[in-house]
Chains A and B, each alone.
Chain A
Amino acid sequence: MAYTTPQIIQWAKIAQPLARIGETKRWSNGDTSADVDLDVKLYMTRLDVEYAYAQNADSAILFSMGNYLLSLMGIYFLEAQGYSGGGGSITPINPSNAPQFYDFEVSASSFIATGVISKVFPSSWAGFNILFVRNSITQSLVNQGGVYYSWDKLTTTLTLLANDPPYGAAQETELFQIYPVL
């Protein structure tokens, strides 16, 4: 299946930061074949392809240039495709899109601080349900429901509902684990 030049350019943009963190991790793990400057090569080559495409979108040279850019992406090509849902397949749900879970002991400086009843999570949690484990007890999985807490996945707001411990406002030294769940 042939890809269009705009598709390849878009994937190259996505593959670029993935390559930066991915190759650096490979290098840190002792893989000497890692190319820590792969993102630089992707960036430079992408600009050349963009320029050629802007000059003449029907140029035959774009086929080989596009294929070269695809080959440069290497292992990051499929991941980049996943982000943009390309290739005509069902858009995969990429685990790396899920935000990092929270696991902490409640204190004055914790993510949900002592005495807090309502907390807005980062926007990266939008669209996810949550699994809330409070003091090793799994609460429930909800969106805009529940007795002991509520979670609005549009505004990413967690509200601890009941007023008295062990529910209600976060108490000092309580153990909170909050996981994003699709």
Chain B
Amino acid sequence: MSFTPNFSVAQSSADLSVIALTDTSTDFPSISVRLVYLRKYDGSYLVPQGTTTDYIVWNVVSGVGDTLEIDAIDKDYCLDITIIYYTGSSITDSKTILTLLTGYGDFFLRKLTQALAGNKVTITQQNFWVNKNKLRVLLDDASQAVSLLNDQTIAQFALDDAKPLVDNISSFF
């Protein structure tokens, strides 16, 4: 068996700005450090506030099962997440996964329905359902763009179209 790098990504509704990466590699070799790149569709990199490099350092503790929390997600993103495994100064391997993060949109839709169910809001906008459907579809657009087209640009385009709906509740809902 040879080293097969892999990882999973999770976003918690408790704190949408944080994603947790878990190393799920197999046959973990002698790795000295991992570097994590969160690449946006325009080629720039997303990093936590105060980070001066394009990457985030992920130190090795146990190897497989290590978890890294990154607090940098300020909106919904489609990110090319790359982890590079270093032994000394040499690259041993790398793994990239196109990752869709729709926590803000999903959570917003859930809150709308929760509020309706609890009679905590009155539908004042004529286009309430139109806009709610539109938001749901835009998130689905992004999902299809990733799973079927592997296209980060189209996915981010849909997410950015959805953002004004999430940000302006009084105007749209």
A-to-B contact residues, CB < 8 Å: 10, 13-14, 16-18, 20-21, 24, 37, 39-40, 43-44, 83-84, 96-97, 100, 102, 111, 113, 118, 120, 122-124, 155-157
Contact = CB atoms under 8 A, between A and B. Distances in A.
Interface residues of B, number: 34
Main SS class of interface, A: helix
Interface of B: 37, 39, 43, 54, 80, 82, 84, 91, 93-94, 96-98, 133-134, 136-138, 140-142, 144-145, 148-155, 157-158, 161
B162 to A, nearest CB: 10
Contacts of A123: 80, 82, 96-98, 150
A122 B138 contact: no
Contacts of A113: 54
Contact of A156 (B43, B96, B97, B150): B96
Contacts of A37: 134
Contacts of B91: 118, 120, 157
Nearest to B82: A120
A74 B145 CA distance: 18
A170 B28 CA distance: 31
A111 B43 contact: yes
A16 B157 contact: no
B149 A83 contact: yes
